[in-house]
A and B are shown apart, each in its own frame.
Chain A
Amino acid sequence: MLFNNLKIAWRTLVKNKFFSVLNILGLAIGMACFLLIALYVTDELSYDRFHKKADRIYRINSDILFGGNSMSLAVTSDMMGSTIKKDYPEVEEFTRVYNSNGSRLVKKGNDFLQELGVAYADSTFFDIFSYEPVAGDLHTALNEPNTVVISESAAMKYFSSLDVVGKNLETDDNNGTIYKVTAVIRDMPKRSHFRFDFIFSMDNLNYGFGDFLSHNFATFLLLKPGSSAASLEKKFPEYVNRYIFPMLQQTMQVKTIADLEKSGSKLEYSLMPLTDIHLHSARVAELGINSDIRYVYIFLAVAVFILLIACINFMNLSTARSANRAREVGIRKVLGTTYHTLIRQFLTESTLISFLSLLIAIVIAALVLPLFNDIAGKEISLANFFQPLFLVSMLALPFVIGLLAGTYPAFFLSSFKPITVLKGKLSGGAKKSNLRSTLVVLQFSMAIILIVGTIVVYRQLAYIQQKKLGFSKEQVMVINNTQVMGDGTRAFKNELLRLPGVKAVSSGGYLPVAGSSRNDNTFSKEAVMDMKNGFNMQVWGVDENYIPLLGMEIKQGRNFSKEFVSDSMAIIINETTADMLGYDDPVGKKIYKSQSNSQAEMLAYTIIGVVKNFHFESLKQKIGPLCMRLRNADWSIAVKMDATNVQNLVKQVEQKYAAHAAGFPFGYSFLDASFNNMYKAESKAGKLAFSFAVLAILIACLGLFGLAAYMAEQRNKEIGVRKVLGASVNQIMVLLSMDFLKLVAISACLAFPLSWIVMNKWLEDFAFRINIGWWVFLVAGLLAALIALVTVGFQALKAALNNPVKSIRTE
């Protein structure tokens, strides 16, 4: 029976090649998209799940609101982990990770190499997290100072061997520290929110431990089985009361917690499950770049969209073709076939089609996987197709799609009454169908939403590119690791200035792109700090060349100058700070900062200038208060170039660098590239939205093409009659296209408000953003109409050019 069904289904496929190809191709492209997105989503959802105790591991998050500035941190104080463990028995263990902005120099032979995946961790690190040991005992590996656990890759890189336990590694911290390798682990899995190659003993970290107020450590808690994170979280205010508030009482003039909260300040801690971090955490001081759950949702929606569009094609083409198959159904019924048998026959057919589509989809997905990886920034391999769970779901797909797409046509076709059908009279349903129109409207609504989405994303990205940032990011080269030169930086800078093609040189420790150093501190407007006049602000060390080099504009007052000795206590503020202070003319006024150790003695800085606001974080953030001081920040050096041969200039700079920092790695970047890096996720999303919009439209067009061909065929005789009566080719074209254009118009009406809402939601993320102009919708609508017109037009023209004599032959 099944075999017989299959045989007939196959023959039907072969007989209707045109429609079969359209159906299979559409479904295959849809399924390929679905497969890729499914791989992407499973990949995203699987982060950090490889840890055996993953469901019991939580990270402490800190939310600080102070002096009008709020900060959401992925780190907490060095004391919190141990204190919480001591006070609350539900905590089984804690570990702290300190990641000194990712970079450390490690010596190989006579040269230092820059290593990015480095961290300091407590010895409990390996008791909480599960890593596969290659050599050594992870449980005790970090128990002593001067120990390090390294990855397989690092072992091969530095020793060309995995058998390295007991060997020494020298790093640049504290002017050269020797570490003993105590264990080697397999490289940390890619699906991990942090990945390190070197984990140093926490004992070697040069840090003022014992400070409840400085937040610098990613702290993970392992809860005892069965204990609740939510109830532990509820006890955190207790911790604030007991340990932190007494210290605040000293520095700030507050008496009670209520006072603190009334003044708008807040200190809140919370727990985040380890497995949530990758998709739900975008805080300051993350251990790596996290993703965003919203993109997962968006892609899931897109996958479902595209699959639906493909299914709709199938339904539309099948029901449209039903007129041709009505006779077959009629004859079968007359011969005694039951309704159920017919339905089974049609479902076999749709499942066969989806199965063939799946085969092609797998091939397509495999072929475009590298491209997809590139756009999505993933390293998904073909092997992922063959994970058991994925394989099973993949094989289930044709049945689901077969049912989804095949059920309606099956019932529709099977319900034809044999007598009417055989008499040649077909109910109007076979020719015109509201359902079919509805489905086309659905397809085009989804396509239009994707078009609008693509346009908006690209417009926002373009806006970011051309937005006046308050500084010039072009032709600025940033040289890193210059701190190793010590006093040599001065000479190095002078030598750079003499190179042809170099226009200016300044210190570049603090730069207005994400990933550059940051330093914030508490200041007050008055000499005595209290809750009202205290505020947090970025303090950047710059030299007198910094502002002109970056093309920043002094709005009031003046830049730093070598001629003024007093400039050591001078300060330049940005407009945000000036507004906050509220002076008519801030130049000459003083602001105060407590000295690190004693809060009694305040340092007074004189404002000498106001720099026009510039964006020093991503455009997602507002421009916060910032000031600059004349201070040496020469661990990076900025070079303004005016060079046509950049490569050559870089080579010359490298030679100069080598002369001053022999054995150290020469690292450099360009400011505009670092800037663009901040919007990687968005540009990735833009590219993906674009690709999927194109595919969605392509699939929808395949369906439309088939439908138009079918409609033209159905209306062949009508067209003939109309031509006999004097209709011109144009009139026939309009007649045939109008029907479809109407549907596109309805789709537009549905899609516009929806896409407006969705895209505004997306834009809300940016403090600085475009308005979605009406023209975006106009363009999207016209584009959809144009595409529909071209698709339908071909069929319409073919029909309109037909000789009417042929179509109205009476025989």
Chain B
Amino acid sequence: MIKISNLEKIYRTEDVETVALNKLSFEVKDGEFVAVMGPSGCGKSTLLNILGLLDDPDSGSFLFNGIEVAGFNERKRADLRKRNIGFVFQSFNLIDELTVFENVELPLIYTGVKAAERKKIVEDVLDKMVIMHRRNHYPQQLSGGQQQRVAVARAVVNNPKLILADEPTGNLDSSNGNEVMQLLTDLNEQGTTIVMVTHSEHDARYSHRIIRMLDGQTVMQDLMV
């Protein structure tokens, strides 16, 4: 599904040049659940943004489903992204002005699904995430765990092949965190590929494989059993 080689990303500000990704290479197969770990500032989020087609690498190759996407323009990336990739963030990133239902509905609107069909899909997903009873609430009215469940629902509503999660449990207590990890595991078992950034060894254990990074490079990859 994903094959990156010699990926480089350098942030240039007026006086400093930060090498966020330094000739990074690895592969993620279809159906895999990969955890990315490493100290703060080692480039995990940068990597995830590039994998999520939100950002462009400075050099290197990025094959997505066998297609070279490094160098795609914004429009092409957006198109590929909205059909194939779902995101889960540490800070949920729900839109405060929209209800639970409307938040989850958004990706479907942007892929042009008809209203009647949207309603069915969204209700299905909310059911699955056990958040249906809160469908008309606003994000501020939910607990952190509930908010993250909504965020996961929104990430999967389009049936993406790949879910990218950046510290999805970072803002949650352990029981809420476990609930979200369980959701991700379930999705993975249904065939969705997942790449998750985490600081928690506990969460990493839900994955098949851990990629450990240091200063923009992979230092090791341990297989989980």
Task: Please report A residues at the B interface, Cβ cutoff 8 Å.
Answer: 425, 431-432, 717-718, 720-728, 731, 803-805, 808-810
Nearest CB on A from B62, distance (A): 16
B82 interface contact, C-beta 8 A: yes
Pick the residue among B45, B49, B107 that contacts A725 (CB under 8 A): B107
CB <8 Å contact, A805 and B55? yes
| Nearest chain A residue, comparing its CB with the CB of B87 | A724
Closest 9 CB pairs of A and B: A726-B82, A726-B110, A725-B107, A810-B91, A810-B90, A721-B93, A718-B95, A805-B54, A725-B106
The answer to whether residues A724 and B54 also contact, given A731-B110, A805-B49, A810-B166 and a CB cut-off of 8 A, is yes
B8 interface contact, C-beta 8 A: no
Nearest CB on B from A305, distance (A): 33
CB <8 Å contact, A726 and B95? no
B143 interface contact, C-beta 8 A: no
| Nearest chain A residue, comparing its CB with the CB of B90 | A810
CB <8 Å contact, B55 and A725? no
Q: How far is the CA of A319 from the CA of B81 in the complex (A)?
A: 38
Best-buried of A425, A431, A728, A731 by chain B (most CB within 10 Å): A728
Q: How far is the CA of A725 from the CA of B54 in the complex (A)?
A: 10
Chain B 97-123 interface mask (CB, 8 Å, partner A; 1/0): 100000000110011000000000000
Q: How far is the CA of A495 from the CA of B87 in the complex (A)?
A: 96
Q: How large is the interface on B (under 10, 10 to 19, 20 to 34, 35 or more residues)?
A: 20 to 34
CB <8 Å contact, B106 and A722? yes
Best-buried of A425, A432, A717 by chain B (most CB within 10 Å): A717
Nearest CB on A from B154, distance (A): 7
Nearest CB on B from A31, distance (A): 36
B203 interface contact, C-beta 8 A: no
Please give, as numbers and ranges, the residues of chain A lying within 8 Å of B90 by CB-CB distance. 810
Q: How far is the CA of A390 from the CA of B110 in the complex (A)?
A: 60
Q: How far is the CA of A664 from the CA of B208 in the complex (A)?
A: 113
Pick the residue among A425, A720, A804, A810 that contacts B167 (CB under 8 A): A810
Best-buried of A425, A724, A728, A808 by chain B (most CB within 10 Å): A724
Q: How far is the CA of A723 from the CA of B79 in the complex (A)?
A: 11
The answer to whether residues A804 and B54 also contact, given A726-B81, A810-B167 and a CB cut-off of 8 A, is yes
Please give, as numbers and ranges, the residues of chain B lying within 8 Å of A805 by CB-CB distance. 49, 54-55
Q: How far is the CA of A421 from the CA of B55 in the complex (A)?
A: 34
19 contacting pairs across A/B (C-beta < 8 A)? A718-B96, A721-B94, A721-B95, A722-B110, A723-B78, A724-B81, A724-B87, A725-B106, A725-B107, A725-B110, A726-B79, A726-B82, A727-B110, A803-B54, A803-B55, A805-B55, A808-B89, A810-B89, A810-B166
Q: How far is the CA of A425 from the CA of B45 in the complex (A)?
A: 26
Chain B 59-92 interface mask (CB, 8 Å, partner A; 1/0): 0000000000000000100110110000101110
Q: How far is the CA of A425 from the CA of B55 in the complex (A)?
A: 30
| Nearest chain B residue, comparing its CB with the CB of A722 | B106
Please give, as numbers and ranges, the residues of chain B lying within 8 Å of A720 by CB-CB distance. 93
Q: How far is the CA of A805 from the CA of B90 in the complex (A)?
A: 14
Could you list 10 further interchain pairs (A-B, Cβ under 8 angstroms) beyond the known A724-B93, A725-B106, A803-B55?
Answer: A425-B140, A720-B93, A721-B93, A722-B110, A724-B54, A724-B87, A725-B82, A726-B78, A726-B110, A810-B166
Nearest CB on A from B51, distance (A): 12
CB <8 Å contact, A725 and B154? yes
CB <8 Å contact, B111 and A726? yes
The answer to whether residues A432 and B97 also contact, given A728-B78, A808-B89 and a CB cut-off of 8 A, is yes
Q: How far is the CA of A717 from the CA of B87 in the complex (A)?
A: 15
Q: How far is the CA of A727 from the CA of B81 in the complex (A)?
A: 10
Please give, as numbers and ranges, the residues of chain A lying within 8 Å of B97 by CB-CB distance. 431-432, 718
Q: How far is the CA of A669 from the CA of B103 in the complex (A)?
A: 75
Please give, as numbers and ranges, the residues of chain B lying within 8 Å of A718 by CB-CB distance. 95-97
Q: How far is the CA of A718 from the CA of B92 in the complex (A)?
A: 12
Please give, as numbers and ranges, the residues of chain A lying within 8 Å of B91 by CB-CB distance. 810
Please give, as numbers and ranges, the residues of chain A lying within 8 Å of B96 by CB-CB distance. 718
Q: How far is the CA of A456 from the CA of B136 in the complex (A)?
A: 49
Q: Which of B159-174 contact A (CB under 8 A)?
A: 166-167, 170
Please give, as numbers and ranges, the residues of chain A lying within 8 Å of B75 by CB-CB distance. 728
Nearest CB on A from B94, distance (A): 8
Please give, as numbers and ranges, the residues of chain B lying within 8 Å of A810 by CB-CB distance. 45, 89-91, 166-167, 170
Q: How far is the CA of A515 from the CA of B106 in the complex (A)?
A: 72
Best-buried of A727, A809, A810 by chain B (most CB within 10 Å): A810
Q: How far is the CA of A720 from the CA of B87 in the complex (A)?
A: 12
Please give, as numbers and ranges, the residues of chain B lying within 8 Å of A804 by CB-CB distance. 54
Q: How far is the CA of A805 from the CA of B93 in the complex (A)?
A: 12
Please give, as numbers and ranges, the residues of chain A lying within 8 Å of B93 by CB-CB distance. 717, 720-721, 724, 808
Q: How far is the CA of A432 from the CA of B95 in the complex (A)?
A: 14
CB <8 Å contact, B89 and A726? no
Please give, as numbers and ranges, the residues of chain B lying within 8 Å of A808 by CB-CB distance. 89, 93
| Nearest chain B residue, comparing its CB with the CB of A727 | B110
Q: How far is the CA of A781 from the CA of B79 in the complex (A)?
A: 36
Nearest CB on A from B41, distance (A): 10
Q: How far is the CA of A721 from the CA of B54 in the complex (A)?
A: 11
Q: How far is the CA of A159 from the CA of B93 in the complex (A)?
A: 89
Q: How far is the CA of A534 from the CA of B36 in the complex (A)?
A: 108
Please give, as numbers and ranges, the residues of chain B lying within 8 Å of A724 by CB-CB distance. 52, 54, 81, 87, 93
Nearest CB on B from A488, distance (A): 87
Q: How far is the CA of A573 from the CA of B79 in the complex (A)?
A: 81
Nearest CB on B from A715, distance (A): 9
Chain B 184-200 interface mask (CB, 8 Å, partner A; 1/0): 00000000000000000
Q: How far is the CA of A722 from the CA of B154 in the complex (A)?
A: 11
Q: How far is the CA of A432 from the CA of B55 in the complex (A)?
A: 31
Q: How far is the CA of A652 from the CA of B23 in the complex (A)?
A: 94
| Nearest chain A residue, comparing its CB with the CB of B46 | A805
Q: How far is the CA of A511 from the CA of B35 in the complex (A)?
A: 97
Please give, as numbers and ranges, the residues of chain B lying within 8 Å of A432 by CB-CB distance. 97
Please give, as numbers and ranges, the residues of chain A lying within 8 Å of B95 by CB-CB distance. 718, 721-722
Q: How far is the CA of A723 from the CA of B81 in the complex (A)?
A: 10
Nearest CB on B from A435, distance (A): 18
Nearest CB on B from A731, distance (A): 7
| Nearest chain B residue, comparing its CB with the CB of A723 | B78
Nearest CB on B from A214, distance (A): 79
Q: Which of B109-152 contact A (CB under 8 A)?
A: 110-111, 140
Q: How far is the CA of A723 from the CA of B110 in the complex (A)?
A: 9
Q: How far is the CA of A425 from the CA of B95 in the complex (A)?
A: 14
Q: How far is the CA of A803 from the CA of B90 in the complex (A)?
A: 19
Please give, as numbers and ranges, the residues of chain B lying within 8 Å of A726 by CB-CB distance. 78-79, 81-82, 107, 110-111
Please give, as numbers and ranges, the residues of chain B lying within 8 Å of A809 by CB-CB distance. 45
Please give, as numbers and ranges, the residues of chain A lying within 8 Å of B107 by CB-CB distance. 725-726
Chain B 40-56 interface mask (CB, 8 Å, partner A; 1/0): 00000100010010110
Q: How far is the CA of A718 from the CA of B95 in the complex (A)?
A: 6
Please give, as numbers and ranges, the residues of chain A lying within 8 Å of B55 by CB-CB distance. 803, 805
Nearest CB on B from A433, distance (A): 13
Q: How far is the CA of A721 from the CA of B155 in the complex (A)?
A: 11
Nearest CB on A from B98, distance (A): 9
Please give, as numbers and ranges, the residues of chain B lying within 8 Å of A425 by CB-CB distance. 140
Q: How far is the CA of A728 from the CA of B110 in the complex (A)?
A: 8
Q: How far is the CA of A810 from the CA of B54 in the complex (A)?
A: 14
Q: How far is the CA of A810 from the CA of B79 in the complex (A)?
A: 24
| Nearest chain B residue, comparing its CB with the CB of A807 | B93
| Nearest chain B residue, comparing its CB with the CB of A717 | B93
Please give, as numbers and ranges, the residues of chain B lying within 8 Å of A721 by CB-CB distance. 93-95
| Nearest chain B residue, comparing its CB with the CB of A724 | B87
Nearest CB on A from B29, distance (A): 25
Please give, as numbers and ranges, the residues of chain A lying within 8 Å of B166 by CB-CB distance. 810
